Structure 1
Amino acid sequence: MTERHARSAPSEHSAPNKHSAPNKHSAPNKHSGTVPGGRTVVQALAGLAADVARDGLPAPLRQDVARRVLDLIGNSLAATAEPPARAVTAVVRGWGGTGEAVAIGTGLRVPAASAALVNGTLAHSLDFDDTHLPSVLHPSAPVIPAALAVAEARGANGAALLDAAGVGIEVAVRLGMGGYDRELGNSEFFERGQHATSICGAVGAAVAAAMVGGLDAAGIAHAAGIAASMGSGLLEANRTGGTVKRVHCGWAAHAGVVAADLARHGLTGPPTVIEGRFGFLPAFCGERADIDAVVDRLGEHWELPGIFFKPYPCNHFTHAGIDAARELRARGVDPDQIDEIELGVPTPVLRTIAEPPEEKARPQSGYHAAFSGPYTVAAALLGGGGLGLGHEDFTDAAAADARRLALAARVRCVPDERCDEIFPRQFPAVLRVRMRDGTRHEVRVDANRGGPGNPLRSAELAAKFRFNADRVLDGAAVDAIAEAVLDLGSAPEVGTLLDRVRG
């Protein structure tokens, strides 16, 4: 989702996330050699997956995953008209094949791997998908589409789907934590320009697909080992344009389904695929890899409940600035009387939402506006639509609006010391404005909405789903789907739900 701008260490007083295990191993490539029981890392992950497939997730975790399925389906329905979704749908339509699973909102039933490709693309297309900190991963977007497709193709029940998706998400974010270096204060994946969501997400998707597809621990380990050779994604599109990033999660979901199928048919992966000399983390992150973080308290502590839901359909780094701008507007600040605006953010955030400055002040499209600090602040000050800022604020027409661009041109993005101390457990911001009459206003937002420190209430999450799904479905259908998704744990099979969102 982002890139590292400078290597600055966060303060030891960084705001805690009670659901996220701190990375205790800041020295390069710390690893004790094996995990408890003499297993390799992938064998430990597969063992957890097999245990959960047998025993099920605890009820609160299942319910958490159901909320993420609801969020993902809403995000996907809202994205069906986006150009990347149309492109991917055209491709899978050309591929053809047996209709095993629903491609959301397209009217199509396609092979499971094709459905995962479409639905993963939809899930990430509007940048409205959930985020784990501090790994800065969007884990649901690659994992849940893979689990949904295989669950439907194999007639699995709702509980099995939720269990598989929950473990797959956990695996993805733990791999992301293996690439997070506390000394640097950021992910080594992003430092190297790699999209950790799609790279780690492919492995998480494979674990989920293998679980719901009925593979045993050895088969799950092979699926993960195979997918480790399939994940990919570069972040340059965040900086200078291009729509390819929206397909990253679709390709990861597709890779996960394919990897599980290959494992079912006898293909194998290396047992040291995560920690080996040429394994996943050393290859992607080099000496900065923290392999122990992947298995720290595995099965005892879950990162899953602390993953942030997004309240706005734009890059997560922009959200605190949006909230600050909305607060200024609520205080009665007139945007037409603002002379200067300063947006203070963590130093690592600047490259994603502030550079190159001339392109961020005048984004070339609605999609690129979603990665612009100046534009999102201007849009929020002027009164955005939807949930405070909505999809209508990120159309090409909105991004070209003269009034928004004039206000965005007054925004100067700067590093902020307190934000550096808090990042990346939160994505904070401070907004300072000077009015034409000389008066000044300041709003500081330390905790993002949607996470453990400032969670979205159930009513807010339901409102987000309706906001998304109303673009495609009528009100009665929207309410019925929401009820069915939140009751997935007792559903005898998944196909009935997905038929409702087929389109």
Structure 2
Amino acid sequence: MTDPTLAQHLARFAAGITFEDLPDAVVDSVGMRVLDTLGIAIAATDLDTSRAAIAWATEQGGAAKAFAVGVEAALPGPMAAFVNGVLAHSLDFDDTHLPSILHPSATVVPAALAAAQQHGADGRTLVRGIAIGLEVCVRIGMAGFDPETQNSVFFEHGQHATSICGAMGGAVAAAVIGGASEAKIVDTLGIAASMASGIIEANRTGGTVKRMHCGWAAHSALAAAGLARHGITGPPTVLEGRFGFFEAWLHQPGRASEIVDGLGTQWAVPNIFFKPYPANHFTHAAVDAGAALRNRGIAPSDVKKLVLGVPAANLRTIGEPIEVKRTPTTGYMAQFSGPYALAVGMFGGGGLGAALEDYSDELANAEDRRALMAKVDVVPDERCDAIFPHQFPAVLTATLTDGTTVVEEVLTTRGGPERPLSFEEVSAKFRANAAPFMSELDVAQLAERCHGLPDLTDIGTLLAPLTKIGTATR
């Protein structure tokens, strides 16, 4: 008998794990991630890009099977997954796995929610599917992590690991929820690999296409699972084969051990980092460092120069080109700016330390923030390099107008295992995101349903109240 392929390993795991096999920490984490993802999607409904995604999705037609946030009429499963995925990733507020540096829930949760409605699944089936899909997504992402360079090979090639690996994990989640056999899950992975995509040049120089990536990955996930269900097949060697996923994306063999070691016994899901701030995760330590200066009583007018030391790998995203990062013209560009993150911290952010209103177009162009950002250099820091990518650290050196030098070190990332967010803090984030769009009662009911997700008998009851959000503005 030949050894099983990597896809067969994953399929055996996915088909064999029952809800009862899931550790309590995994079940609890899934409920928090659904709540977090829906809150982000709700807050994103009034973006122009969200309106564009909804308009395109509603033009496609098809059998109404699933609800999407901000869309009154039910949509085909893949279209509902697309809309929810776009919204879930559009604010850069979604969770992050380290050190793979991908955002698993923004694809897997929308794909699983659509599949659950499509197949009439209950809460226990949904939780099981999300847990398995997140685990598959993370493990494939880790197979592309290079321990020597301490960076994602996907990222080095300009690829968006979030949407590429998310399509694979989301497809497995959808297949599991649909009751697929082990063989059909292998086919689903084989099909999804031909649909996985995403490049990240927009992080550097602008454009909103990145907001679409998780939506398209979730759409691909539903499509792959559906095509496998109807008889399309995929190669069992889809991951490690000569012309497979790893060769195509990584241009080298993936680290198979990251996929198979501890599969089913060691779960990555509870250790995925929640985002307390609505910006690229590389900027979060800068927000904290800026806030630390403010808490010392240092005002922006007291600053002569700021040097933000970060891992060298982060420079391309939050520090280059420095002229662009010092002068973001939109709130979206500000979410990828190290200098702007310092401004958020120094001027005092809302929410858990920075809130959506801190990343408006108006504030990105505000004279006082521009004046502070002009004083910021973003440089590589060796100490940060040694910690990255297990954390996203920063070391801030501030030279003040009186000649004093102050150093603030932020070496762990808030929202991760070392500085976790509690269910109450995730709920507070959800309330801040949802409150402008929903009544206090509806916000409380949705949080309660996510907290008791395994007990739901109809997933549609979770999403139906969200279909009218934002529709009055379109």
Matches of 2:100 and 2:243, distance apart in 1: 22
Gaps spanning 5+ residues in structure 1: where?
1-33
Task: Measure, in 2, the Cα distance between the counterparts of 1:332 and 1:459.
Answer: 29
Match of 2:273 among 290, 302, 308: 308
Query: Which one of 197, 201, 205 corresponds to residue 240 of structure 1?
Result: 205
Correspondence for 1:138 among 88, 91, 103? 103
Q: Is the 8 A contact 2:111 2:170 kept in 1?
A: yes
1:254 corresponds in structure 2 to 219
Equivalent residue, structure 2, for 1:404: 369
Task: Give the secondary-structure state (helix, strand or coil) at the position aligned to 2:252.
Answer: helix
| Matched ranges for 1:371-386 at <5 A | 371-386=336-351
Residue 83 of structure 2 is aligned to residue 118 of structure 1: yes
Aligned 8 A contact 1:326 1:381 in 2:
yes
In structure 2, what is the equivalent of residue 157 of structure 1?
Answer: 122
* Alignment map for 1:10-409 (pairs within 5 Å): 38-53=3-18, 55-287=20-252, 289-409=254-374
Counterpart secondary structure, 1:107: strand
Q: Following the alignment from structure 2 to structure 1, what is the Cα–Cα distance between the partners of residues 463 and 209? A: 26
* Matched position secondary structure for 2:416: coil
Distance change in 2, residues 1:265/1:55 (3 Å): farther
Alpha-carbon distance in structure 1 between the residues aligned to 2:84 and 2:101: 21
> Gapped runs of 5+ residues in structure 2?
469-474
Return the offset for 1:460. 1.2
Conserved? CA contact 1:56–1:163, under 8 Å: no
| Off by >4 Å, runs of 4+ in structure 1 | 53-56
Q: Is the 8 A contact 1:53 1:211 kept in 2?
A: no
Deviation at 1:55, TM superposition (A): 4.9
Letter aligned with residue 156 of structure 1: A
CA RMSD in angstroms comes to: 1.3
1:428 aligns with 2:393: yes
Contact kept? 1:80, 1:105, Cα under 8 Å: yes
- SS for the counterpart of 1:38 is coil
Taking structure 1 as the reference length, what is the TM-score of the superposition?
0.91
Read off the aligned partner of 1:40 and give its amino acid letter. Answer: T
Question: Cα–Cα, structure 1 residues 53 and 84, in superposed 2: closer, same or farther, change >3 Å?
Answer: farther
* 1:414-453 map, 5 Å: 414-453=379-418
Contact 1:178 1:291 in 2 (8 A): yes
Q: Aligned with 2:154: secondary structure?
A: helix
- State the identity as a percent: 53
- The CA distance in 1 between the partners of 2:355 and 2:454, in whole Å, is 31
* Deviation at residue 379 of structure 1 after TM alignment: 2.1
Does the aligned pair in 2 maintain the 1:181–1:289 contact within 8 Å?
no
Q: Distance in 2 between matches of 1:173 and 1:274?
A: 14
Q: Does 1:493 align with 2:443?
A: no
Number of equivalences: 468
| C-alpha contact (below 8 Å) 1:77/1:471 kept by paired residues | no
Check if 1:471 corresponds to 2:425. no
| Partner SS for 1:136 | coil
SS in 1 for 2:399: strand
Instruction: Please tell me whether the aligned partners of residues 80 and 122 of structure 1 are also in contact (alpha carbons under 8 angstroms).
Output: yes
Question: Hey, what's the Cα distance between the residues in 2 that align with 1:182 and 1:288?
Answer: 14
Is 1:413 equivalent to 2:383 in the alignment? no
Post-superposition Cα deviations, 1:93-136, rounded to whole Å, max 9, x if no partner, equal: 11122221111123231010000000000000000000000000
Q: Deviations over 1:354-373 (max 9, x none)?
A: 00010000012110100000
TM-score by length of 2: 0.97
Paired AA for residue 355 in structure 2: G
Letter of the aligned partner of 2:217 in structure 1?
A
Q: Contact 2:19–2:125 (CA<8 Å) still a contact in 1?
A: no
Shift of 1:58: 2.6
Deviation at 1:382, TM superposition (A): 1.2
Structure 1 residue 53: Cα displacement: 4.4
